[in-house]
């Protein structure tokens, strides 16, 4: 799109600081059911689910964890079986060798350093083997202590379309978003963008005519 159109669109919708609250409020009304799609019953299951969700769908993870969590209830349970057995149990989530290694490393550290309890700070979470910043952000947010904003493919695309960031790199996008999004909304903001991205602002064919924020979006096609 020519630069002049982009600049004109940005002028039309106004500054992002003025748009962020109405965008959040309208998306929250439109996607009142927007929450994490992974199923878990406690902090350990949350951590495991998020770790397994890399490179696969939440539906797929839920299918695997339904059985997994009956067999593995404590960090020690993941260490009590041979690595190959754990690999078989998580096989359907893909990248099962790497994921099994990360799970066992994480469980070992939970036992050795955290008294078997999932830590709550981002600094501690990213020390767990195989837990990157995005995973740590998801876990911290679900534990009610968001310390950053989760940036996945939907959050990235929608933040760019809505003119909240011009960055491509997830870390830089997160840096822009934490300056813009009110702290109280750090937890729910990614869920709202993810659900809006799945239902309306679809990657290839955004349904701008049905979008509740189309008057606040510089990328709107209506
Ligand atoms: S107006 Fe279109 S591009 Fe903008 S957020 Fe809505 S669906 Fe996405």
The model's pTM: 0.87
Positive or negative, the Cα torsion across 41, 77, 93, 103?
Answer: positive
What is the share, in percent, of the chain residues with pLDDT greater than 70? 99
Structure confidence at residue 11 (pLDDT): 84
- Specify whether 134 is catalytic: yes
CA distances (Å), 133 to each of 18, 86, 152, 174, 188, in order?
29, 24, 11, 11, 17
Radius of gyration of the chain (CA): 19
Distance 206 CA to ligand 1 centre (A): 6
Distance 185 CA to ligand 1 centre (A): 20
pLDDT tens figures, 20-74: 999 999 999 999 999 999 999 999 999 999 999 999 999 999 999 999 999 999 9
Ligand 1 atom with the smallest distance to the CA of 206 is 7
Active-site hit among 58, 77, 152, 185: 152
Structure confidence at residue 98 (pLDDT): 98
Statement: residue 1 has pLDDT above 90: no
Statement: residue 126 has pLDDT above 80: yes
Pocket test for ligand 1, best of 155, 206, 222 (most atoms within 8 A of CB): 206
CA–CA dist 166, 177 (Å, integer): 11
Average pLDDT over the chain, rounded to an integer: 96
Which residues line ligand 1 at a C-beta cut-off of 6 Å? 161-162, 200-201, 206-208, 211, 213-214, 217, 219-220
- Specify whether 179 is catalytic: no
Distance 204 CA to ligand 1 centre (A): 11
Closest residue (by CA) to atom 8 of ligand 1? 201
pLDDT tens figures, 142-186: 999 999 999 999 999 999 999 999 999 999 999 999 999 999 999
Torsion on CA atoms 35, 38, 43, 49, rounded to nearest 10: -150
Pocket test for ligand 1, best of 220, 221, 222 (most atoms within 8 A of CB): 220
Structure confidence at residue 10 (pLDDT): 82
Distance 203 CA to ligand 1 centre (A): 10
């Amino acid at each position: 799109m020519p630069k002049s159109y982009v600049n004109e669109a940005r002028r039309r919708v106004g500054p992002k600081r003025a748009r962020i609250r109405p965008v959040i409020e309208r998306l929250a009304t439109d996607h009142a059911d927007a929450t994490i799609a992974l199923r878990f019953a406690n902090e350990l299951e949350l951590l495991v689910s998020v770790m397994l969700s890399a490179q696969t769908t939440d539906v797929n993870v839920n299918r695997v964890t339904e059985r997994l969590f009956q067999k593995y209830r404590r960090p020690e349970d993941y260490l009590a079986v041979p690595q190959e057995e754990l690999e078989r149990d998580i096989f359907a989530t893909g990248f099962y060798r790497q994921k099994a290694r990360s799970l066992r490393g994480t469980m070992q550290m939970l036992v050795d350093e955290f008294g078997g309890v999932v830590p709550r700070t981002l600094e501690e979470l990213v020390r767990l083997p195989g837990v990157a910043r995005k995973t740590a952000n998801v876990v911290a947010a679900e534990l009610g202590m968001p310390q950053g904003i989760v940036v996945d493919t939907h959050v990235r695309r929608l933040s760019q379309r809505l003119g909240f960031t011009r960055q491509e790199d997830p870390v830089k996008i997160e840096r822009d978003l934490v300056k813009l999004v009110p702290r109280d909304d750090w937890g729910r903001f990614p869920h709202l963008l993810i659900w809006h991205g799945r239902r309306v602002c679809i990657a290839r064919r955004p349904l701008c005519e049905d979008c509740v924020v189309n008057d606040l979006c510089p990328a709107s096609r209506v």
